[in-house]
Structure 1
């Protein structure tokens, strides 16, 4: 767990899991350096962290997909604190649509934030940790990094890549016992990523049940900082989905489309196509969770509504 002596770097700190992680560490009195693209939302998080008890909270506006930005970010941490104890990469964006429907710049933008951003952070943080002979890098993946799902190909590709990167970094840093690379894979989380995603599929995405609050994920994540134990998968349902994908691939392929339509799409919220927050940040108000469309459509009731719409659809001539 985090204590008041720790220096934490958190990316994606303006919302979702990143913001929740920053606030959880702040409550333990840690020193925080926070990164995200939106300077106003990032400063709001820094102010909230100081109110929550952080020893200090520095906001450094950063595009994690740009290596020069990440180099400057890590430099800012070292200039202020002289070391990095924990770096957590939570920044992430998503896009909905078939592979051929998603514009190249949007597809590449998802990869840049989720995967290239992970590489950039590792490139600049790990040499610091190795010089110190201690420290932890945490890469936040997704259960989707272990599966295939329809109409999310850039996100799927990026999260498979994050998992592969984490495994590679674990192998490369075995020679320094005090340096740890952790990978965690949440399931459905109530964050703004769904309503801010690029969308070329015509529907609003939503987190599949069971839907967890980001503060729960933040606690699970921080609990794994000081140990090499603990499951990478943060939900039992993740393990069940992985089992089906791996052991019964034909059955999985037959079921994933209808299940995704029922559990991960808000069929009552059609959307016009657009890049969402992939190419530029969209400021969102945080109230501890998404606080928007995703929360109103969470869980089993949302799934039941979708099932009803799917059943009625053919009879309505759609």
Structure 2
């Protein structure tokens, strides 16, 4: 990473911020993009303290012209772009019929078109260089599993997974094999996401079980820049969850839906409607972590979740064994 030029969107908070600091700590020159100018300046100073360089460029990734300008300023400042990380993202909580269409549209513009704008802006740069890595931060939620009241967010992450698959195919057909496109699929991460998300459910969100820290995801980003792979699972039981979903999709989905509805959301009417940071910068709400102690207090939750997934897999395997056993000839 030393002297590599890395552009990180969503760099003011959560995974984007952790990624920027991790790259700077390895001597990278990091271009920081988000809507919160004051917070970006703070992150830039921290990048310099860690031994790298931080260059703040306030950017709304939903604005294609602004993203093109972000790429231009990165090249003007450093001469190239080695890695582009699309980590900007927003969320809305609520049933699909509770979420206003305008807010859903805004979410898709940030989460999906923001990454598309990033690819459009940086691919010409990487083609001139002859190489580069694009990393999109998606999610297991949408990429693999689903949960109620997060339909817009899951939809956007599923779209991002498909977009990356298609982009890889098109680059390969064009013979541009030295431009790599990588999709990160983290499990639940301890970021300010739920504090900043819009809420149209009428129900307060209780503490969701974090299973990874943003620093863990950032380390996965750094590893991926050195060894690009199409998809990267991040989290202590991510692979087990993927296997469980493949073998027992329906029972796992029912269990996830019940747990989300009964455990992670409060009673109806205990939360006022809010659009969160859909239209405004996070500013004072920006932070590295969400305060849910993903690195310290989740051992029991991790074990329970892993046990649930493993139990589902074993039950599905036993059912398959019973139904596929030897049959007597007719």
Q: Which TM class, normalised by the smaller chain length?
A: 0.7 to 0.9
Asked if the contact 1:46/1:57 (under 8 Å) is kept, the reply is: yes
> SS of the residue aligned with 2:284?
coil
Offset at residue 184 of structure 1 (A): 0.7
**CA drift at 1:239:** 3.0
Cα 1:300/1:217, change in 2 over 3 Å? same
Matched, 1:215 2:212: no
Structure 2 counterpart of 1:127, from 113, 124, 128? 124
**CA shift digits 1:25-79 (9 cap, x unpaired):** 111111111100111111111111111111x211111000110110111011111
Q: How many angstroms apart in 1 are the aligned matches of 2:230 and 2:167?
A: 18
User: Which of 2, 18, 24 in structure 1 is aligned with 2:16?
Assistant: 18
Could you tell me how far apart the structure 1 residues matched to 2:266 and 2:215 are? 24
Match of 2:75 among 60, 75, 78: 78
Work out the CA distance in 2 between the residues paired with 1:275 and 1:178: 41
* Counterpart mapping for 1:82-231 below 5 A: 82-145=79-142, 146-174=144-172, 175-205=175-205, 208-229=208-229
What is the Cα-based RMSD across aligned positions, in Å? 2.8
- 1:267, 1:297 → 2: CA distance? 25
d(CA) in 2 for partners of 1:238, 1:137: 22
Residues 185 and 232 in structure 1, CA contact (< 8 A), matched pair in contact too: yes
Q: TM-score, normalised by structure 2?
A: 0.83
Change (3 A) 1:302 1:86: closer
Q: Which moved more, 1:7-16 or 1:174-183?
A: 174-183
Corresponding residue for residue 307 of structure 1: none
Deviation, 1:234, is: 1.1
Separation in 2, partners of 1:231, 1:156: 17
Name 1:58's counterpart in structure 2.
55
TM-score w.r.t. the length of structure 1 is 0.86
* Residue aligned with 2:158, SS: helix
Aligned match of 1:309:
none
How far apart are 1:290 and its partner, in Å?
2.3
Q: Which runs of 5+ in 2 are unaligned?
A: 305-330
Gaps of 5+ in 1: 305-318
**Distance in 1 separating the partners of 2:211 and 2:269:** 19
Quick check: 2:190–2:293 contact (8 Å CA) kept in 1? no
**Does the Cα contact within 8 Å between 2:16 and 2:88 map onto a contact in 1?**
yes
Larger radius of gyration: 2
Give the 3 Å change call, closer, same or farther, for CA 231–301 of structure 1 in structure 2: closer
Tell me the distance in 1 between the aligned counterparts of 2:89 and 2:291.
18
